[in-house]
């Protein structure tokens, strides 16, 4: 049974990040910590009582396809009605279109509750948020007026439609074509891997589709973005006839079974009617607005599943009696949580999940500062840091969550391999997170190519400087071991050295940097997590009030474990970054 980690979320939002500071920004002036917690408490009720009970049944039943459409598992449609009725789709939306503006870290924290309780369900609202964001930034006034109010409310949902059978990550190969027809276009083509591309939640689905206008340049420079609704929309917002868009099948997947992953056909006769977003041939630019929104959200999804896997593993370990742990024999058997290795596994799950949560919500704070802070210098610096962190958020958090979910199965032992316990579902569900919205390798290439290569490491150097300054300012206390801070400082030094190596290689021999890009990204996530957990330990050590003492002691313990057992991985990763490229480049492809 899932329990929303409200105290942990309160600590990160209020004490670690100080999200309340955003109330100084005019666009967020109505925000307060009290408002944030009241929203989280209400979201927790929906997550725990409505979404979580549907998670395992939905996994077993899965979505159903027929030529007439796709139906969701029993209970999902009603859950979506409750979700929309509670106004949850409006959270984070632009007030001009009926949304409720709140800080991004709070929106992400709420998304964590949906993802932890039912990842398959959460994917549909997440993609709608991305489509809304793209239209807010790039759509015309008429498009915004026609589509956004009902998308922001959840009356309609949205999708991201990129992939084709021959064009996965290489979008230069997109072949879906768009034929001009007066003030609109007719689209022809097939798209695959379209999450929630068809369902029974709503009467309309707004597809955001990449296609190539006839006569456009080859490659990514000739791609445009189109709005293609499932049902055509009249000028007054009412629904007209069905568009030439249909789901011709759904995939049979490893996990997220309740989430339909669709093969979509656009245009089987006269063509699917679509409306150009922005300027022709700038579709990839507009789509990346959605992609970055989704990459942050996938980071949330991953650690959310990690949190759920940890909760289940910890509960199992507290009740499972097996063997005798070391120590004085008193004739009593104890639960396996007393075995040192089981304790190690659970602390690994807990500390890595907390590190991921801190990084993701910290990134969200940077995006808010970039969007809303009145000082231009602060906005620019925050945008650079937010851009830098997005690939780390997406890739490190998802890779870590996969490890966390796998450890959860290990804690269960043989019972973890049995579907009835539920532990295996988290492994199956979270596995996709390292793949969709850009694989780990793509994120690593983005980090070193676009983010570090673009400014020769300036944004990363600024982050490293802030980490070092804040860690050095922490006052060691007996109840917050000095070694937690010192371990984080040592890891920061390793990251700084690795950055120098990457900057040099990107300038002189880019292939050397690419050969160690993923280890470098993992080093970035590992060290950033160590910095934030060390700060958390210092805050917890200074915490007052008996009611929170047990929670604070746990924070200190978790940070100390991370420093001693997880953060030392930085030594190996930094060595790979600085010395490991040759092992890849000297290998012959036909011998791999």
Domain boundaries, the chain: 6-153, 157-280, 456-583
Query: Which stretches of 526-573 are assigned E, i.e. beta strand?
Result: none
What distance in Å separates the CA atoms of residue 391 and residue 445, rounded to the nearest whole number?
9
Does domain 6-153 match CATH 3.40.930.10?
no
Do residues 236 and 253 touch, judged by C-beta distance below 8 A? no
CA 381-384-390 angle, 5° bins = 135
Query: Which among 8, 80, 122 has a CA at the least distance from the CA of 430?
Result: 122
Do residues 52 and 145 touch, judged by C-beta distance below 8 A? no
Residues 499-519 have pLDDT tens digits of 999 999 999 999 999 999 999
The CB-side HSE value for 209 (13 A sphere, CA atoms) comes to 35
Q: What is the band of 471 on the pLDDT scale with cuts at 50, 70, 90?
A: very high
Contacts of residue 170, Cβ cutoff 8 Å, sequence gap at least 6: none
Question: β-pairing, 205-213 with 177-181?
Answer: parallel
Tokens of 181: 């027809």
Taking each continuous run of H as one helix and of E as one strand, the counts in the chain are 20, 12
Catalytic residue numbers read 437
User: How buried is 252 (Cβ within 10 angstroms: 0-12 exposed, 13-18 middle, 19+ buried)?
Assistant: exposed
What distance in Å separates the CA atoms of residue 589 and residue 378, rounded to the nearest whole number?
47
- Read out DSSP for 196-257? TSS-SS-S-EEEEEEEEETTPPSSGGG-EEEEEESEEE-TTS-EEEEPSEEEEEE---SS-T
Query: Which stretches of 31-115 are assigned E, i.e. beta strand?
Result: 64-66, 69-71
User: How buried is 321 (Cβ within 10 angstroms: 0-12 exposed, 13-18 middle, 19+ buried)?
Assistant: exposed
What distance in Å separates the CA atoms of residue 146 and residue 490, rounded to the nearest whole number?
54
What distance in Å separates the CA atoms of residue 347 and residue 361, rounded to the nearest whole number?
21
Please state, in angstroms and as integers, the Cα–Cα distance from residue 100 to each residue in 42, 79, 93, following that order: 15, 21, 5
**CATH code assigned to 157-280:** 2.40.110.20
Q: What is the band of 480 on the pLDDT scale with cuts at 50, 70, 90?
A: low
Do residues 83 and 125 touch, judged by C-beta distance below 8 A? yes
What distance in Å separates the CA atoms of residue 349 and residue 341, rounded to the nearest whole number?
12
Phi/psi of residue 543, nearest 5 degrees:
-70, 145
3-state secondary structure of 268: coil
Please give the torsion angle defined by the CA atoms of residues 289, 291, 293 and 294, in that order, rounded to the nearest 10 degrees: 160
- The distance between the two most distant Cα atoms of the chain, rounded to a whole number of Å, is 85
Do residues 187 and 223 touch, judged by C-beta distance below 8 A? no
Residues 528-540 have pLDDT tens digits of 999 999 999 999 9
* Mean pLDDT along residues 135-143: 96
What distance in Å separates the CA atoms of residue 590 and residue 592, rounded to the nearest whole number?
6
Q: What is the band of 331 on the pLDDT scale with cuts at 50, 70, 90?
A: low
Predicted pLDDT at 243: 98
3-state secondary structure of 284: helix
* This model's pTM is above 0.85: yes
User: Is residue 140's pLDDT more than 70?
Assistant: yes
What distance in Å separates the CA atoms of residue 39 and residue 44, rounded to the nearest whole number?
9
Listed range (170-174, 379-383, 427-431) with the worst mean pLDDT: 170-174
User: Is residue 587's pLDDT more than 60?
Assistant: yes
Q: What is the band of 329 on the pLDDT scale with cuts at 50, 70, 90?
A: low
Q: What is the band of 542 on the pLDDT scale with cuts at 50, 70, 90?
A: confident
Query: Quick one: CA dihedral 285, 138, 166, 395, positive or negative?
Result: positive
């Amino acid at each position: 049974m899932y329990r929303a980690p409200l105290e942990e979320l309160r600590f990160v939002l209020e004490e670690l990040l100080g999200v309340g500071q955003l109330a100084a920004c005019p666009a967020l002036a109505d925000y307060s910590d009290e408002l944030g917690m009241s929203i989280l408490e209400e979201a927790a009720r929906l997550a725990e009582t409505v979404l979580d009970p549907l998670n395992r049944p939905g996994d077993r039943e899965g979505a159903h396809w027929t030529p007439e459409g796709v139906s969701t598992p029993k209970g999902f449609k009603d859950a979506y009605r409750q979700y929309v009725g509670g106004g949850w789709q409006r959270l984070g939306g632009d007030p001009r279109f009926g949304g409720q503006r709140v800080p991004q870290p709070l929106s992400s924290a709420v998304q964590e509750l949906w993802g932890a309780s039912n990842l398959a369900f959460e994917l549909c609202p997440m993609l709608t948020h991305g489509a809304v964001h793209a239209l807010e930034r790039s759509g015309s006034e008429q498009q915004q007026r026609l589509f956004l109010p009902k998308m922001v409310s959840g009356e309609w949902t949205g999708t991201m439609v990129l992939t084709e059978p021959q064009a996965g990550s290489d979008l230069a190969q997109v072949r879906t074509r768009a034929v001009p027809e007066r003030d609109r276009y007719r689209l022809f083509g097939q798209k695959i891997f379209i999450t929630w591309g068809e369902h029974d939640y709503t009467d309309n689905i707004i597809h955001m589709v990449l296609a190539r206008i006839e006569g456009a340049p080859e490659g990514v420079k000739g791609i445009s973005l189109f709005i293609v609704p499932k049902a055509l929309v009249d000028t007054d917002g009412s629904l007209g006839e069905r568009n030439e868009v249909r789901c011709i099948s759904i995939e049979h997947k490893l996990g997220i079974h309740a989430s339909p992953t669709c093969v979509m056909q656009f245009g089987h006769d006269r063509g699917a009617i679509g409306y150009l977003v922005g300027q022709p041939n700038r579709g990839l630019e507009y789509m990346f607005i959605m992609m970055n929104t989704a990459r942050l959200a996938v980071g949330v999804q991953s650690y959310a599943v990690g949190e759920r896997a940890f909760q289940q593993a910890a509960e199992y370990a507290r009740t499972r009696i097996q063997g005798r742990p070391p120590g004085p024999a008193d004739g009593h058997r104890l639960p396996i949580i007393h075995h040192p290795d089981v304790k190690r596994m659970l602390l690994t799950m807990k500390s890595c999940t907390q590190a991921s949560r801190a990084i993701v919500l910290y990134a969200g704070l940077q995006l808010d500062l970039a969007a809303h802070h009145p000082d231009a210098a602060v906005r620019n610096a925050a945008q650079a840091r937010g851009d830098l962190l997005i690939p780390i958020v997406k890739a490190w958090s998802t890779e870590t969550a996969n490890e966390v979910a796998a450890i959860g199965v290990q804690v269960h032992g043989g019972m973890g391999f049995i579907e009835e316990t539920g532990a295996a579902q988290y492994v199956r569900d979270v596995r996709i997170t390292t793949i969709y919205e850009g694989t780990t390798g793509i994120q690593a290439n983005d980090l070193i190519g676009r983010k570090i290569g673009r400014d020769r490491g300036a944004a990363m150097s600024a982050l490293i400087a802030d980490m070092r300054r804040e860690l050095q300012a922490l006052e060691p206390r007996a109840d917050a071991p000095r070694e937690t801070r010192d371990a984080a400082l040592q890891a920061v030094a390793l990251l700084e050295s690795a950055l120098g190596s990457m900057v040099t290689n990107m300038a002189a021999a880019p292939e050397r940097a690419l050969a160690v890009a993923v280890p470098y990204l993992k080093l970035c996530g590992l060290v950033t997590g160590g910095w934030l957990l060390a700060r958390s330990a210092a805050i917890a050590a200074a915490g007052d009030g008996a009611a929170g003492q047990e929670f604070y002691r746990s924070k200190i313990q978790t940070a100390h474990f991370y420093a001693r057992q997880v953060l030392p991985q930085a030594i190996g990763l930094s060595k790979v970054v600085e010395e490991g490229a040759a092992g890849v480049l000297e290998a012959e492809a036909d011998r791999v």
